[in-house]
Amino acid sequence: MSTRYHLIGVVAVLLTAQAAAAVGPRGVLIEARNLAYDANYRNDQAGLRSAIEALQPLVDAAEVAPYAHYYLSWTYWALAGSQVQDKDTSGALESGKRAVEHARAGLAARAADPEFHTVLVNALVVVGFLDGSQFKTVMAELSAARKKALELGPDNPRVALMDAGAIFNSPPEAGGSRERGLARWQEALQLFDAEAKTKAADPIAPSWGHALAYGWVSGLYLRMTPPQKENARTAAETALRMRPDFWWVRAQVLPQLRE
């Protein structure tokens, strides 16, 4: 990733450190979370690590500790995805394990919140996918967290997105289906569209996923048989209108649409 984005991340961490006393833990959390969101779109590992550095001290701030763990889990999950793109399997697995640790820590304080069950599922997917020796153990915990998330947040867009991914990517013998997964993904998109029209009750609550859902579904369309290129193109264009810096769509999807 470019030196410019790395410097942005470093400066952001310095600014949050200097401003912590003035804005308080919630302000620092929001800045660090937004840095992580931006770095994820840009496939900027240095920015993700800068966000982690800024978030880590907040696990000791009682006011925001559960959400600090949540966003640390999310950021390590995003970092693992970038490391997979780089074929750094060992690094991605280590990031996945850290994502699981922080998800569990956050969930211990927010057991009735579907967001925390969902972030645990996402983290466990990384570990289960990259470490076959832990697959059975991971699947037991993952299935329980997925079931609880669906029970607690049936209309939560991030819950629906997680569920759609599980359905799409699971083999038929495990209850998966690309057609049903894609239909569930469309439900998630509708929930994200509705969420975007409302104001968040708490500014530190999770708000990610809208552009990601449109970007990622473009890849799912291309995995259908036959590939649904026009649907993929429409979804990719929607994602890029929201986030012109969406690296994955530009680097992974658009080249396939030109073929």
In a domain, 144, yes or no: no
What gap in Å lies between CA 214 and CA 84, rounded to an integer? Answer: 21
Q: Which residue has the higher pLDDT, 192 or 11?
A: 192
In a domain, 86, yes or no: no
Helices (H), 153-204: 157-169, 178-196
Q: Which of 3, 2, 27, 4 is nearest to 16 (CA)?
A: 27
> So what's the pLDDT on residue 4?
44
In a domain, 9, yes or no: no
Distances (CA, A) of 52 to 56, 77, 110, 177, 205: 6, 11, 21, 35, 17
In a domain, 60, yes or no: no
Domains held by the chain: number = 1
Contact of 214 with 242, CB cutoff 8 Å: yes
Region of poorest pLDDT, from 14-23, 95-104, 138-147, 198-207: 14-23
Region of poorest pLDDT, from 66-75, 106-115, 154-163, 171-180: 171-180
pLDDT in tens, 122-139: 999 999 999 988 888 899
In a domain, 159, yes or no: yes
| Burial (0-12, 13-18, 19+ Cβ within 10 Å), 225 | exposed
What gap in Å lies between CA 31 and CA 54, rounded to an integer? Answer: 9
Q: Which of 154, 162, 151, 150 is nearest to 209 (CA)?
A: 162
What gap in Å lies between CA 168 and CA 184, rounded to an integer? Answer: 9
Q: Which residue has the tokens 């264009």?
A: 237
- As a whole number, the mean pLDDT across the chain is 92
Give the three-state DSSP class for 16: helix
What gap in Å lies between CA 17 and CA 130, rounded to an integer? Answer: 35
In a domain, 214, yes or no: yes
pLDDT in tens, 215-251: 999 999 999 999 999 999 999 999 999 999 999 999 9
In a domain, 11, yes or no: no
In a domain, 49, yes or no: no
Q: Once rounded to an integer, what is the mean pLDDT over residues 47-68?
A: 97
164: containing domain: 154-259
Q: Once rounded to an integer, what is the mean pLDDT over residues 95-117?
A: 98
